[in-house]
Amino acid sequence: MLENKRPRRVTRPVRVGPHVIGGDAPVLVQSMTKTDTRDVGATVAQIEQMVAAGCELARLAVPDVAAGVALGEIAKA
């Protein structure tokens, strides 16, 4: 395993659901979807692919109200 030569910057921990980002928490694998958030089926499929690849936190763009409504459907799926 490679040794980290640079010390980690001190940050405040932030809770995102069951996960903690920052502080002394371990690094969290995260990625952002590239699909149109309003396309619920495509976005859910991409999130499932990301999880299968080891992603622990999916980020989505919510540029408008329609995407916000779709976000609720994505969360249910």
Domain boundaries, the chain: 30-76
Q: Residue with structure tokens 């979807």? A: 33
Question: What average pLDDT does range 38-48 have in this prediction?
Answer: 98
Q: Which residues pair with 14 in a beta bridge?
A: 21
pLDDT digits (tens, 9 = 90+) for 18-29: 999 998 899 899
Q: Is 0.85 surpassed by the pTM of this model?
A: no
β pairing state of 30-32 and 14-16: unpaired
Residues 20 and 39: their CA atoms lie apart, in Å, by: 29
49-69 pLDDT per residue, tens? 999 999 999 999 999 999 999
The 3-state DSSP class for residue 6 equals coil
For residues 56 and 19, the answer to whether their CB atoms sit within 8 Å is yes
How many residues in total does the chain contain? Answer: 77
As a whole number of angstroms, the distance between CA 38 and CA 24 comes to 35
